[in-house]
Amino acid sequence: MTKKPVNTDELIAAIIKGIDDVKGENIQLLDLREIENTVCDYFIICSGGSNTQVNAISGSVQKLVSKELKDKPWHIEGQGNSEWVLMDYVNVVVHIFQKHVREFYDIESLWGDAKITEIKPV
């Protein structure tokens, strides 16, 4: 039995809801589809105020996506120190930063050609 592919719009909605459920801040959706040689179609970037909140956000996203879409990340990095957790859902990559780390790396500027959408809390 083969696994049914996950709808990207549903995946993005579930990820954003998972972030919002634990008060993730400054959520941005970067659409990378018009940029050549990108590793995925979308980045979702958000901030947490502490290691604990960054862990809570990644846990909430995993739980919600698993429950609603029966999907799990292909790969996760950064849970050891919880300053920058990367969750790779193949065509959507989630970056969960502590605020100071997000400011330091400023990946939104590195992907300046992307269409950036600010996501307002529900």
Distance CA 69, CA 30 (A): 22
For residue 58, is it within any domain?
yes
Which residue in the block uniquely carries the two structure tokens 């970056």? 95
Q: Which of 112, 116, 78 is nearest to 98 (CA)?
A: 78
Amino acid identity of residue 28, one-letter, is Q
- Please tell me which residue, 2 or 91, carries the higher pLDDT value: 91
Span 95-111, mean pLDDT? 95
Q: What is the pLDDT of residue 97?
A: 98
pLDDT at 11 over 60: yes
Q: What is the pLDDT of residue 40?
A: 94
For residue 91, is it within any domain?
yes
The CATH number for 38's domain is 3.30.460.10
Per-residue model confidence as pLDDT tens digits over 31-72: 999 998 898 999 999 999 999 999 999 999 999 999 999 999
Q: What is the pLDDT of residue 1?
A: 45
Containing structural domain, residue 113: 8-119
For residue 67, is it within any domain?
yes
User: Count of domains in the chain?
Assistant: 1
